[in-house]
Chain A
Amino acid sequence: MKKWLQLALGILTAVGGFFDMGAMATSAQAGANYRFQLLWAVAAATLIVIFLVEMSGRFAAVTKKALPDAIREHLGFTFWIVPFLVLTLSTYLVLATEIGGVCFALHLVTGLPTPLMALPVAVLAWLFLWRSTFSTIENSTSLLGLITLAFVVAAFHHRPPAGEVLRGFVPSLPGEDPLKYWAIAVSIVGAVLSPYLFYFYSSGAVEDRWDRSYVGVNRGIAALGMSFGSAVAMGGIVVAAMVLAPRGIQVDDYHQAAMMLTDAFPFWGFLLFAVSMGIACLGATLEVALAMAYSIAQTLGWNWGENLDPREDARFSSVYTGALLLASLPILFGVDPLKLTVLAMASEAAVLPFVALPFVLLMNDRKLLKEHANGWISNTVAVVVLLVSLVLTVVSIPLAFLGGGG
């Protein structure tokens, strides 16, 4: 039973990796522009991310090491340096986006300008990381993150046409504006397959002191946690399809998405959207800042751990402190949160192969993982991920600019 409480790690990972600023934007855009036609992209990305998260949890449970740590030790620092640099850059953009999300949520509630919130939000997130342990973060984010289920409730409330929803799970070509369609599809995949996600999950498993006995539980946690995130993202698409699409509203600005829940919850809908966005993005801010600190500390062989006192891992704590400060700058200087999201999602899709390759190589190391090394099913998925990610690397940035999706 105690092991199953670790589901919080799965939900925390899903809140950050799934229903964050990127997923909110892509879900709203997908539903508003193409109704249910892009549900397949979320479903496909979910399936892939379940496998990737399961692999990273299995790795951590068997070796008791997080991925960057193990990659540096087994494949060498030189091999890891390029993936590490692109991962850090992409993670920085995502962190800036998530801070933008919290700022925008506060702007919705208070009416104050978004840039004004950037530094206070960064300080709030820093205080949270400085004062909390890993379990406090994972439990509070998971519990509060349940508010995002409002999108699933709203989706059912609208009684979407079942046939059309089911047809959305089969990939199809759009009637018009294919560039925008593919740009949004790539952004959905980019938003879900966040490269930092599986690196974070393995570090979280080490923080939670997983051992081999968690290998089975890990499968359930990965599947349930990611399915939670997927359900919320799909709920977002359905609600946008039922509320925004019939009115001819496309999401070129987050203000247009903020009214999504007001049909289902006339009085609370607006506040529910703002609070869901704020909590999801704050959870993601904490997760991404930690992911960046984990990755840098493990790569450079420093002491690390959110459960340690900041004095015991001063360099690790300095990394998230600096990262939060630097990531608040784009919003502070007035960069549009939606444009930042488009760029971050495209960069996530673009860096995926750099980050996935060392991971997959390590998962096949039988000396290290013995009977827990990847089998043919996991490797088939890994090959699909590598192929998809290679295509995404080529198309994501041009599509983001040409299609304006995101």
Chain B
Amino acid sequence: MQTPSSSRRRCAAGGLAAILAAALLLACQKKSPEEDLLHKVEPVGSWLASLQMAGEKWAANSLPSSFLRASLSAARKEFEKADEESAKSRARPEVTVPLRRLLAEAKAAGAGLERGVEAGDRAAVARQARQLAGLRARFETLQNAGKGP
């Protein structure tokens, strides 16, 4: 039976432990309230992109209405959660005010998307999807600004 030498085994285990320790250290690093908030609301960007794609695909007849409704419901929960985080955050208003405005617009765009789906209006849904693309770009700018130089 061939096995790696015990020193090699110790070395490999040590390496993995070091990776884990470094990862844990990174996770525990003290963040500013702005960084902390922007990290917590990160899924918003992904949900804006998801809704945009869902809207485009629904407009192209690639997705059923029930799926879009379910996605909207899941996205709305994430937007609400992010709004609550912003409301209780100690981050500077330069970050929280535009963020909360963006979240309000995202909820409105979601509602517009839903209205378009209910009315079967593919052109309206495609327009809302473009608006969501704009919101996503603004969210990314906000995220990049929050990360600092």
Contacts and interface: CB of A to CB of B under 8 A. Distances in A.
Report whether chain A binds chain B.
Answer: yes
Interface of A: 107-108, 110-111, 178-179, 182, 247-250, 252-253, 255-256, 258-259, 262, 266-267, 269-270, 364, 374, 376, 379-380, 383, 387, 391, 394-395, 398-399, 402-403
Contact of A250 (B19, B23, B43, B53): B43
Contacts of A252: 43, 46-47, 78
Contacts of B136: 248
The main secondary structure of chain A at its interface with chain B is helix
B7 interface: no
Contacts, number: 94
A376 B74 contact: no
Given A262-B62, A387-B9, A178 B23 contact: yes
Interface of B: 1-4, 9, 12-13, 16, 19-20, 22-24, 26-27, 43, 45-47, 49-50, 52-54, 57, 60-67, 69-71, 74, 78, 136, 140
6 contacts: A111-B67, A247-B49, A249-B49, A255-B74, A262-B57, A364-B1
Nearest to B54: A259
A249 B53 contact: yes
Given A111-B70, A249-B50, A179 B60 contact: no
A258 B57 CA distance: 12
B74 A248 contact: no
Nearest to B77: A253
Nearest to A113: B70
Contact of A248 (B16, B46, B65, B69): B46
Contact of B62 (A267, A379, A399): A267
A274 to B, nearest CB: 9
B49 A379 contact: no
Contacts of A395: 16, 20
B23 A391 contact: no
